[in-house]
Amino acid sequence: MEILVCVKRVPTVGGRITLTGDGLGVDTRMSGFTISPHEECAVEEAVRITERLGGTVSVLTLGPESAIEQLRGALALGAGRAVLLETDGREYGPIATATAIASEIGSRAAAEPGYDLALFGNEASDTGDYQVGIRVAHLLGWPVVTGIKSLDVSADGVVARREYRGVEEAYSLPLPAVVTVKEGLNLPRYPSLPGRLRAKRAPVERVEIKDVSLPEGLRKTRLRVPEGGTHQATVLGEGVAAVPELVRVLDELGILS
Amino acid sequence: MKALVLLELEVPGDTAVDYQYPATGNPPQSSGTSLSAHADVTVTEASLRALGVGRALAGTGSLAAVVFGDADAGGGLPGVLAEHGVGDVYLVGSAVVAGYAPQAWARVIAGLIEETGATAVLAAATDRGNEVMAHLGAITGLPMAANCLSVSAPAPADGGYVITRQRWAGLLEEEAVLDAPVALLTVAAEAIPPTEADAPSGSGAPPEAAEVHRVVPDISGMAPSPGAVCAPAIPDGDLVVRAVESPVRDGGGGASLATARVVVGGGRGVGGADGFAPLEELASLLGGVVGVSRVVTSEGWRPHRQQVGQTGTKITPELYLACGISGAIQHIAGCSGAKHIIAINTDPGAPILAHADYAVIGDLHEIIPALVAAIRARSAAA
């Protein structure tokens, strides 16, 4: 089973998001970078599938040279191969991103045993576009299902499940296919020390992106942090002594009736 | 300006529309959900929100809706839709696409864009709405803007539609210009559609019911249906991915979390998998459920379906009682829809306090049992 996992380098944000001076990006001077929790689960799932069925996990990202850090993170978890679709640092929209990824998948299929399965996160945690996996599938003519929380893969195909408004939906797809997944699919492992050492030395294939036109119809003009989260809670008291006051507030809010 | 809105329906007694699949072999001409059998079928709140945004965008132009599900007239739906400004409703009534098949649904909508000349297509930013619209974007080659909060009609000076959309699950808002011949948009749960009073009134009295148009997709192996206004061709490949629906085995914990009136949240401060009993007791006493932060599920203390946050469930309770939760912004993205937030935390500087209405500073392991006892004593005295 040849599995491709696509990940995206995104800022690590904790207590609050700070914007850059021009209002067009997230200030990352005081923070690091990571990948989305959905994508961590995609990497873990791919590693588990190949542990069972054999084959290779390739991890791919589209981004600047610095995104190699995220590829090494996936290599440390058990991916065997890493591909960087190298950009000049400009922000790629979903159409340009999908075009570059589909082109890479297509060129690998032409030269080597191609991918059987491409996994994505359901949406990137920063831009939240909800569409790169689907656009890649259309460009390749592969079936695609999104938002998956349970995945059974065999040589014959995949059965993917998700929940929607209290109903479980099951999808059967032939391979090759695109599946986008959500956190909860599995509990990702922590990287082992040998894994981290191997990842540090592993080669990363760097691919130059050709013929991409930017922008693509949706042009960001400004980011802003919505209001809220700036007030301070009314402190009802400390410890068990505050319980009567807490009960009074719960009653006032109509919770106890 | 003509706007077309994809609607999702709710049938009473069902959490989702109960589609019937034809067995493999000859697909029947008509089966699936009979909307007319459910007189009180309703449009989901999320879809009504999308309809409100679509109505404002259409302005003095026309507003149309598309509904999937086999129906002759859709019960009382055309009347309900007229109240929301819908002039035309396209009912897609083939058994094969009545079941959820996202790519086929998108192909039908692409056909309706041609048929109706719609210049904007909107859907609720639900899992299904985002999925179908992304397929539509891929089929048409158009950009798709997900999780929009607002959209204004295109003006030449702006270079397109001016939209506001959510990034980081709503923690950031993006202002953007969408320059496309047809705008594809999904509408976020936090969007506030302009009120009825702001809606432009057309000339004359509004119609009593939306005009119903039957759409029967052209699928190989099925006889053509007379009387259909539109018959978009569905390639076989579009029907490869179809949902087979069944009740959720574990009782749908995620769904009850999303709709619970009270959520008692537990975070790292709970300390371990065996620390949740008092939270469960409090939740059940208040008629609510337990929700947890991401660290709790990553540690394997509780199942992921109980996670509140950007990559878990977004909750909208009357009260969120956040216990031992510091308040990472990914968690805030999931609980900011709560009407009231009360935090119990040992750290008076925890970020959650900037989002809470009230706070008790202290150890949840002492405070929650005392709170449970106080509430029990109170109801015993009453």
CATH of the domain at B275: 3.40.50.1220
Is residue B17 in some structural domain?
A: yes
pLDDT of residue B359: 97
pLDDT of residue B19: 40
pLDDT of residue B31: 36
Q: Do A236 and B130 touch (CB under 8 A)?
A: no
Does position B198 have pLDDT exceeding 70, yes or no? no
User: For residues B354 and B332, what is the distance between their CA atoms, to the nearest angstrom?
Assistant: 10
pLDDT of residue B30: 36
For an interface test with B, which of A218, A227, A238, A245 has the most B Cβ atoms less than 10 Å from its Cβ? Answer: A218
Does position B87 have pLDDT exceeding 60, yes or no? yes
Mark whether B268 and B224 lie in a shared domain.
Answer: no
The one-letter amino acid at A194: P
Residue of B nearest to A36 (CA): B311
Per-residue confidence band for A90, with pLDDT thresholds at 50, 70 and 90? confident
Element (H, E) at A42: helix A37-53
Mark whether B224 and B129 lie in a shared domain.
Answer: yes
User: For residues A218 and A51, what is the distance between their CA atoms, to the nearest angstrom?
Assistant: 41
Residues of A in contact with B101 (CB under 8 A): none
Mark whether B96 and B232 lie in a shared domain.
Answer: yes
Does position B292 have pLDDT exceeding 50, yes or no? yes
Contact between A131 and B138 under an 8 Å Cβ cutoff? The reply is: yes
pLDDT of residue B27: 37
Of A95, A144, A167, the CB nearest to B15: A167
Q: B127-140 vs B102-116: helix axis angle to the nearest 10?
A: 60
Question: B23 to chain A nearest CA, in Å?
Answer: 15
Element (H, E) at A131: none
Nearest to B161 by CA among B47, B7, B1: B1
For an interface test with B, which of A20, A28, A122, A250 has the most B Cβ atoms less than 10 Å from its Cβ? Answer: A250
Q: Which one of B239, B263, B281 terminates a domain?
A: B239
Does position B14 have pLDDT exceeding 90, yes or no? no
**How many domains is chain B built from?**
2
The one-letter amino acid at B337: G
pLDDT of residue B227: 64
Q: Do B367 and A243 touch (CB under 8 A)?
A: yes
Mark whether B99 and B70 lie in a shared domain.
Answer: yes
Mark whether B153 and B214 lie in a shared domain.
Answer: yes
Residue showing tokens 């009074």: A248
More confident residue, B271 or B382: B271
Residue B16 vs residues A168, B8, B264: alpha-carbon distances, Å? 10, 9, 27
Q: Which domain holds residue B270?
A: 253-381
Domain containing B42 — which CATH number?
A: 3.40.50.620
Contact between A238 and B362 under an 8 Å Cβ cutoff? The reply is: yes
Mark whether B224 and B267 lie in a shared domain.
Answer: no
Is residue B233 in some structural domain?
A: yes
Mark whether B344 and B209 lie in a shared domain.
Answer: no
**From start to end of chain A, where are the E strands?**
2-7, 10-11, 33-34, 56-63, 81-86, 117-121, 144-148, 150-154, 157-164, 167-173, 177-181, 205-208, 218-224, 234-238
What confidence tens digit (pLDDT) does each residue in B205-238 have? 667 889 989 888 888 767 666 666 777 889 999 9
Mark whether B196 and B339 lie in a shared domain.
Answer: no
Residue of A nearest to B16 (CA): A165
Question: A134 to chain B nearest CA, in Å?
Answer: 6
Mark whether B69 and B119 lie in a shared domain.
Answer: yes
Angle among Cα B345, B347, B351 to the nearest 5 degrees reads: 85
pLDDT of residue B21: 35
Mark whether B265 and B374 lie in a shared domain.
Answer: yes
Name the H helices within chain B.
Answer: 45-58, 77-83, 95-98, 102-116, 127-140, 253-259, 277-285, 294-298, 329-335, 364-381
What confidence tens digit (pLDDT) does each residue in A46-75 have? 999 999 999 999 999 999 999 999 999 999
pLDDT of residue B28: 36
Q: What length does chain A have?
A: 257
Question: A172 to chain B nearest CA, in Å?
Answer: 7
Of B142, B304, B360, the CB nearest to A183: B304
**CA-CA-CA-CA torsion sign (A90, A93, A94, A95):** negative
Residue A163 vs residues A36, A49, A185, B57: alpha-carbon distances, Å? 20, 22, 12, 32
Long-range pairs of A189-196 with CB within 8 A, sequence gap ≥ 24: A189/A44, A189/A47, A189/A77, A189/A78, A191/A73, A191/A76, A191/A77, A192/A76, A195/A75, A195/A76, A195/A77, A195/A78, A196/A76
Read off the DSSP letter of residue A188.
Answer: P
Residue of A nearest to B100 (CA): A169
For an interface test with A, which of B158, B299, B304 has the most A Cβ atoms less than 10 Å from its Cβ? Answer: B304
Contact between A164 and A136 under an 8 Å Cβ cutoff? The reply is: no
Contact between A90 and A208 under an 8 Å Cβ cutoff? The reply is: no
What confidence tens digit (pLDDT) does each residue in B15-67 have? 444 343 333 333 333 334 445 445 567 899 999 999 999 999 999 899 999 99
Is residue B248 in some structural domain?
A: no
Residue B198 vs residues B52, B53, B83, B195: alpha-carbon distances, Å? 11, 12, 14, 5
Residues of A in contact with B358 (CB under 8 A): 233-236, 246, 249
What confidence tens digit (pLDDT) does each residue in B150-162 have? 999 888 888 899 9
Per-residue confidence band for B289, with pLDDT thresholds at 50, 70 and 90? very high
Q: Do A236 and B137 touch (CB under 8 A)?
A: no
* Backbone phi and psi for residue B223, each to the nearest 5 degrees, phi listed first: -65, 145
Is residue B123 in some structural domain?
A: yes
More confident residue, B269 or B96: B269
Q: Which one of B180, B206, B239 terminates a domain?
A: B239
Residue of A nearest to B375 (CA): A247
Is residue B113 in some structural domain?
A: yes
Does position A234 have pLDDT exceeding 80, yes or no? yes
Residues of A in contact with B335 (CB under 8 A): none
DSSP B322-360: EES----HHHHHHHTT-SEEEEEES-TT-GGGGT-SEEE
Residue of B nearest to A129 (CA): B146
Mark whether B190 and B259 lie in a shared domain.
Answer: no
Q: Which of A228-232, B238-242, B277-281 has the lowest mean pLDDT?
A: A228-232
Q: Do B255 and A256 touch (CB under 8 A)?
A: no
Does position A150 have pLDDT exceeding 50, yes or no? yes
**pLDDT, averaged across chain A:** 93
The one-letter amino acid at B95: A
pLDDT of residue B36: 47
Q: Do B144 and A94 touch (CB under 8 A)?
A: yes
Contact between B367 and A240 under an 8 Å Cβ cutoff? The reply is: yes
Q: How many Cβ atoms are within 10 Å of B225's Cβ, its own excluded?
A: 16
* Rounded average pLDDT over B262-288: 96
* Rounded average pLDDT over A88-115: 91
For an interface test with B, which of A26, A31, A134 has the most B Cβ atoms less than 10 Å from its Cβ? Answer: A134
pLDDT of residue B356: 95
User: For residues A227 and A233, what is the distance between their CA atoms, to the nearest angstrom?
Assistant: 16
Question: A230 to chain B nearest CA, in Å?
Answer: 6
pLDDT of residue B217: 84
pLDDT of residue B313: 92
For an interface test with B, which of A10, A165, A214, A238 has the most B Cβ atoms less than 10 Å from its Cβ? Answer: A165
* Backbone phi and psi for residue B261, each to the nearest 5 degrees, phi listed first: -80, -35
Is residue B245 in some structural domain?
A: no
Q: Which of A25-39, A168-182, B265-279 has the lowest mean pLDDT?
A: A25-39
Residue showing tokens 């053509």: B224
Is residue B244 in some structural domain?
A: no
Contact between B98 and B19 under an 8 Å Cβ cutoff? The reply is: yes
Q: Which one of B193, B210, B239 terminates a domain?
A: B239
Q: Do A130 and B374 touch (CB under 8 A)?
A: no
Q: Which of A29-43, A53-67, B21-35, B265-279 has the lowest mean pLDDT?
A: B21-35
Per-residue confidence band for B193, with pLDDT thresholds at 50, 70 and 90? confident
Question: Which residues, other chains included, contact B11 with Cβ-Cβ below 8 Å and sequence gap of 6+?
Answer: B17, B18, B33, B38, B41
Residue of A nearest to B339 (CA): A253
Q: Do B16 and A164 touch (CB under 8 A)?
A: yes
Size of interface A-B (CB pairs under 8 A): 274
Interface predicted TM-score (ipTM) of this complex, two decimals: 0.95
Q: Do B245 and A93 touch (CB under 8 A)?
A: no
What confidence tens digit (pLDDT) does each residue in A128-146 have? 999 999 999 999 999 999 9
**pLDDT, averaged across chain B:** 86
Does position A189 have pLDDT exceeding 60, yes or no? yes
Of A126, A135, A138, the CB nearest to B168: A126
* Rounded average pLDDT over A149-177: 94
CA B189: distance to chain centroid? 7
Residue A164 vs residues B41, B249, B260, B263: alpha-carbon distances, Å? 18, 13, 16, 20
Sketch the domain layout of chain A as residue ranges: 2-208
Helix (H, G, I), strand (E, B) or coil at B147: strand
pLDDT of residue B33: 46
Q: Do A130 and B247 touch (CB under 8 A)?
A: no
CATH topology of domain A2-208: Rossmann fold (3.40.50)
* Rounded average pLDDT over B1-26: 62
